A and B are shown apart, each in its own frame.
Chain A
Amino acid sequence: MRFLPLFPELVRQLFREPATNRFPAKYLPPTVTGFLHDVAAGRARLTPPVPTPPEFRGKIAYARDSCIGCGLCTKICPSHAIELLPTKKIRIWIDQCIFCSQCTSICPKSSLTMSPEFLLADEDRYSEDLIVE
C-alpha cells in the first residue's frame, strides 16, 4: 500500500496541454450567436472543431433529381423522419433524424448520402436548415 500514488501524475498533468478542444472559443462568449456574427465579420477567431472521422454520419444530403420516389427509405427509417410527398419526392425532417444511415443503404439510386455536417443546433425545429427536400 503506497500513499497517494496519484500525486506524481497530478504534478505531471499541470504541465500538459488540456485534453479538451476549446470549441468554439477558449472562453465561453457572452452570447454564442453574437460571437458567430463577430467571426463572420472577422473580428473574432473560431477554434476549429475536432475533425470528423471518415464515413462520419452527419446531416443527410439529398440528390432530388435522381430520386425515383420508390419510398423504400420511408419504410426503413426507424424514427419516421422521412415523408413521401405526392410529387414522388421525399422530405426529411432532420430534427427527427437519428443519423443511422439506414436510408442511404437502402436507396437503390444512391440519392441519399451522409454529409459530415454536424453543427445542427437550432432554436426552431422546423427551421429551413432542419428540413431537407
Chain B
Amino acid sequence: MSDESKKAPYIVPIGPNHPALKEPVMFTFEMEGEVVREVDFAPGQAHRGIEWMGMRRNPVQIVHLTDRICGICGVSHTLAFARAVEQVAGIEVPERADYIRTIIAEFERIQSHLLWAGVAAHELGFDSLLHLTWKVREQSMDVIENLTGNRVNYGIVQVGGVRRDIVLEQHPIIDDCLGTYEGLLGKLLSLFLDDKTITMRCRDCGVLSKKEALELCTVGPTARASGVNVDLRQDYPYAAYGDLDVRAILPEQHMGETHGDVYDRIVVRLLEVGQSCQIIRQCLSEMPAGPVTAEEKLAKLLAICKKAQGEAIGRVEAPRGECFHYVRMDGKDAPHTWKVKASSYSNLMSWIPMLRGEQIADIPIIIASIDPCLSCTDRIAVISHGHRSVLAKEDLHRLSVEKTRRLQR
C-alpha cells in the first residue's frame, strides 16, 4: 500500500441497522484518523405507510393511528391532527378540553425529556444514571396511565375534545407526581451538570451555532440550545397555552452563556421538565368547568367530519420541536390528503455541522443529542416492482411539476 492511500480519508459506514443506533438510518463518515472530516446520512430506512393507511380511514379512526406514529410523542401528533381536522370542520373545542390536552401534552414532555436524559447518559457510558433517570420517569408514566388508561398510545384526544375528564380524585395523584419532580429537578441538574465526566464529554462537543441553527430551520430544544428563541407554545399558542405563562427556555437563563453544544441541550431539556411542572400546576388551578368534548355522539361527529371541505394545518410543539400535520378533506369519509412532518425531520440536517470535526467516539452522543425520532420522520421510501429507491428532492420536485402539469390539463 502506498503512503498516499494510508493518508487518504477512509470511509466508515454506520447503519442502516447498527447496535449504536436506536433507529434505522444510514451514516457515511469520512474519517481522517479519529476525526470526522465529512459526514452524510440517508434517512428513509423505515417506511410504514401510515399516511396511506390514514387516507383510507375516517378522522375518528385516524386519531388512533396518529397515536402510533411515535411511541413517545403520541399526543403531539394526535393533537396536531385533531386541530387540523377541527379547523376544516369548524368544530369549536370546549375550554376544559383544551386544558386537559395541555396537561397531557406537558406530562408527555416530562416523560420524553427524562427518557432522552437517560439515553444521553447511556450514550456517554453512564448506565447508573440511565437507570436512575428511567426509574424516576416511571412516576410520570403511571400518572399518564391513570389519566388516560394507557402508558403509551394514550388514545385520549379525539376530534372535538378529549375522551376523558380529569376528576377531582385524580388531582392528588398529579400533585404528588409534580411535587416529586420539582424536588428531583435540582438533584437531576446537579447529577448531569456538575458531573466532571459529563461536562468534559459534552461541553463544546457537537456545536451548532445560532446562525447554523437558523439556516437549517431547526426546531424545539435543538434550536433553543443554540440560542434561537423559538417555542410554538409562546409564538403560536394552541390549546390552553394562550392563557398560560410560557416562555421559551434558553441555556443562557441558567448558564449565563450559550455554547450551542450537547451540554446546552441537556440544560434546556432538564429545565423544560421544571417548566412543564409549572404549566401543569397552572392548568390544574385555572381549569374551567364544562364539557370535555364538542360532540359527544360519535356518529354525529362522523357526519360533521364527512361534510367538511377544505384544508388546514395543525401545529404542535412536541417534545422534540414543531410537529406539523396537513389535512385536506373533500366531503368524503376519509381525508383527501394527509401529510405529517415530524419534528426530527427539521432537525436531522443539523447533524452535519455538529458532527464535522468531532471524534469518532463522540458520534453516538451527538446523534442522540437532537433526540432523533426516525420512525416518525421517515415516509418517502418507495418500493416499486421490488426495486427500492428513496426519492431525493429533485425527484420530488420533478414529480410535483408533473402533477401540476397533469392538473392543468
Q: Which residues of A come within 8 Å of B, CB atoms?
A: 1-6, 9-10, 13, 19, 53-57, 72, 75-79, 98-102, 105-106
Contact = CB atoms under 8 A, between A and B. Distances in A.
A29 to B, nearest CB: 25
A129 to B, nearest CB: 21
Contact of B298 (A5, A57, A79, A106): A106
A54 B165 CA distance: 13
A56 B155 CA distance: 12
B64 A5 contact: no
B196 A55 contact: no
Nearest to B144: A53
B149 A2 contact: no
A1 B194 contact: yes
A91 B183 CA distance: 50
Interface stretch (B84-92, B128-136, B233-241): B128-136
Interface string B281-322: 000000000000000001100100000000000000000000
Contact of B195 (A4, A77, A78, A102): A4
B129 A6 contact: yes
Interface in B139-182: 142, 145-146, 149-150, 153, 155, 163-164
Contacts of B190: 2, 5
B57 interface: yes
Contacts of A56: 145, 149
A54 B302 CA distance: 28
A98 B150 CA distance: 11
Contacts of A99: 150, 155
Given A57-B149, A57-B150, A6 B196 contact: no
A72 B299 contact: yes
B194 A100 contact: no
Most chain A CB inside 10 Å of its own CB: which residue of B57, B68, B146, B149:
B149
B65 interface: yes
Contacts, number: 76
Most chain B CB inside 10 Å of its own CB: which residue of A4, A56, A76, A79:
A76
B299 A53 contact: no
Nearest to A70: B299
A6 B128 CA distance: 8
A97 to B, nearest CB: 11
B138 interface: yes
A1 B192 CA distance: 11
B156 to A, nearest CB: 10
Given A4-B195, A5-B194, A101 B128 contact: no
Given A5-B194, A99-B150, A106-B299, A10 B64 contact: no
B191 A57 contact: no
Contacts of B149: 53, 55-57, 101
Contacts of A4: 195-196
A79 B155 CA distance: 14
Contacts of A72: 298-299
B329 interface: no
A47 B195 CA distance: 39
Contacts of A75: 58, 302
A107 to B, nearest CB: 10
Given A6-B132, A55-B149, A78-B64, A101 B155 contact: yes
A9 B132 contact: yes
Given A6-B129, A53-B149, A77-B61, 9 more contacts: A6-B128, A6-B132, A53-B146, A54-B146, A55-B149, A55-B164, A75-B58, A102-B298, A105-B298
Contacts of B298: 72, 76, 102, 105-106
Nearest to B297: A106
A82 to B, nearest CB: 12
Contacts of A19: 135, 138
Contacts of A54: 146
